[in-house]
Structure 1
Amino acid sequence: MLPLEDGRLAGLHARLAARAEQEGLLEVAYRTVDSPVGPLLLAATPQGLVRIAYEREGFDAVLETLAARIGPRVLAAPRPLDAAAAELEEYFAGNRRAFDLPLDHALSSGFRAVVQRALPRIDYGRTRTYQEVAELVGNPRAVRAVGTACATNPLPLVVPCHRVLRSDGSLGGYLGGAEAKTLLLALEREGSAA
């Protein structure tokens, strides 16, 4: 048996992904995109965008976690993520200040989910402290828990945990690393000044 040419193999994969999506067999579709903060893995369920991962997290490990927590039918299928990829591109170009995507919050629960759902209320180009976010969600003593919710945010960028800083104004941790957080805050400062 001769190996398939790259073009034919890509065509077969595209048809498989389309068929799986059409027949409701696809639990998680994923693709990667390039960005100013490095390659990003985007993943979606039929309900919406469920995960954005930085390369430093290990894309294979992220996909394994998605298979374990959501379902084993995980397939590279870029089409369901076209809107997310386009909105991220607009964001990085400075043409989008808020995301308008269906989100699947299946990877968050409890207080973490409460915090993560509140983060989009921090306006583009603005920051809040962990303390201010704790107060925003009605639990002013939960500063550390807010930090944990930000650190475990499965949808960075779209759910803007990068806009949360320490009380002294320093960055604090960030899933994508300090360099990515600095770049995102600078991008938004520039965009909000324009």
Structure 2
Amino acid sequence: MEIFVITTEAGSIKGFVKNNKIIEIKFYNDYLEEYYDNHTALFYKTIKKYFKGYDVLDELPYEKYFKTVFEERVMKTLKNKVLFGHVVSYGELAVMAGYPRAARAVGTVMAHNNLPLIFPCHRVIKSDGRIGNFGPGQHWKEFLLKIEKYIV
């Protein structure tokens, strides 16, 4: 497994790559030294470009295993229907995925997302317009939404 590290004003992210596909992204609140090698250069450069405000993350090859059909539908709906710079509520995402009464379950799926930039759970907010929780911290969610020009 190869890794890359990107440092931003919000902290650092570490990406894990296996067989030329990204398999996990972790957020850190401290500042790690930036790093990438030949195996991770594409991922590093593409995500750096995202942090400059470009909608480029669909270019990245990834490997994601879904535990249930529900999880797969919710995550694929999120990835394909909630575009860069837009947000939806947990309830709206549940409806879009075909599960109109599953807003809380959608929240659980978001909480267990190991590829949070590829499957952009930071774009899911509360129904009252507040941005809600984000595993790595609310400051990360605000940072990512600002990158996408969604003003919080």
Secondary structure of the residue aligned to 1:79 is: coil
Aligned residues of 1:47 and 1:104 also touching (Cα < 8 A): no
Structure-to-structure mapping, 1:68-87, within 5 angstroms: 78-87=37-46
Moved runs in structure 1, 4+ residues, more than 2 A? 76-80, 95-99, 111-114
Alignment-derived partner of residue 9 in structure 2: 36
Q: Does 1:54 align with 2:22?
A: no
| TM-score of the superposed pair, with normalisation by structure 1 | 0.68
Task: Tell me, in whole angstroms, the C-alpha distance in 2 between the residues paired with 1:112 and 1:50.
Answer: 16
Task: Tell me, in whole angstroms, the C-alpha distance in 1 between the residues paired with 2:117 and 2:132.
Answer: 16
Aligned residues of 1:112 and 1:148 also touching (Cα < 8 A): no
Q: Which moved more, 1:31-40 or 1:179-188?
A: 31-40
Deviation at 1:138, TM superposition (A): 0.5
Secondary structure of the residue aligned to 1:132 is: helix
Query: Whose radius of gyration is greater, 1 or 2?
Result: 1
Q: Does 1:109 align with 2:82?
A: no
| Identity %, equivalent residues | 29
Secondary structure of the residue aligned to 2:8 is: coil
Q: Which amino acid aligns with 1:109?
A: K
Task: Tell me, in whole angstroms, the C-alpha distance in 1 between the residues paired with 2:84 and 2:56.
Answer: 6
Aligned residues: 145
**Could you list the runs of 5+ residues in structure 1 that have no partner in the other structure?**
1-27, 57-75
Structure-to-structure mapping, 1:23-172, within 5 angstroms: 28-46=1-19, 48-56=21-29, 78-106=37-65, 108-110=66-68, 111-120=70-79, 121-172=81-132
Change (3 A) 1:47 1:144: farther
Aligned residues of 1:36 and 1:92 also touching (Cα < 8 A): no
Alignment-derived partner of residue 13 in structure 1: none
Root mean square deviation of aligned Cα: 2.2
Aligned residues of 1:42 and 1:51 also touching (Cα < 8 A): yes
Deviation at 1:149, TM superposition (A): 0.9
Secondary structure of the residue aligned to 2:4 is: strand
| TM-score of the superposed pair, with normalisation by structure 2 | 0.85
Q: Which amino acid aligns with 1:46?
A: N
Task: Tell me, in whole angstroms, the C-alpha distance in 1 between the residues paired with 2:56 and 2:128.
Answer: 26
Please give the per-residue CA displacement for 1:151-182, whole angstroms capped at 9, x wherever unaligned.
11111122111000011111111122111111
